């Protein structure tokens, strides 16, 4: 199994356990290792990658609308 495919399968397994309501990180890691037979460090690496991806998406969704340089902010308009 190549690394990209393996990572995708591990991410899907992690998400599956999260969707099922499993909230203990170590429990999720153990279940994924048992289910897929992959090494625990691999699951931890993929989980870190998944966290990073999700945090980036959250930051995008939490950010304000992009501002153009030529247009002043609404609350900074000149009288």
Q: Read off the pLDDT of residues 45-79 as tens digits, 9 standing for 90 and up.
A: 999 999 999 999 999 999 876 666 555 555 555 55
User: Considering only CA atoms, which of 75, 18, 5, 1 is closest in space to residue 46?
Assistant: 5
What tokens appear for 78 in the block? Answer: 């000149």
- Give the integer Cα–Cα distance in Å for 37 and 12: 15
Q: What is the pLDDT of residue 39?
A: 97
- Give the integer Cα–Cα distance in Å for 45 and 50: 9
- Give the integer Cα–Cα distance in Å for 76 and 20: 48
pTM, full prediction: 0.73
């Amino acid at each position: 199994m190549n690394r990209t495919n393996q990572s995708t399968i591990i991410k899907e397994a992690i998400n599956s356990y999260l969707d099922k309501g499993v909230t203990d990180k170590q429990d999720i890691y153990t279940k994924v290792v048992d289910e897929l037979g992959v090494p625990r460090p691999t699951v931890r690496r993929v989980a870190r990658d998944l966290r990073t991806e999700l945090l980036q998406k959250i930051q995008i969704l939490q950010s304000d609308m992009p501002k153009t340089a030529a247009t002043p902010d609404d609350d900074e308009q000149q009288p």
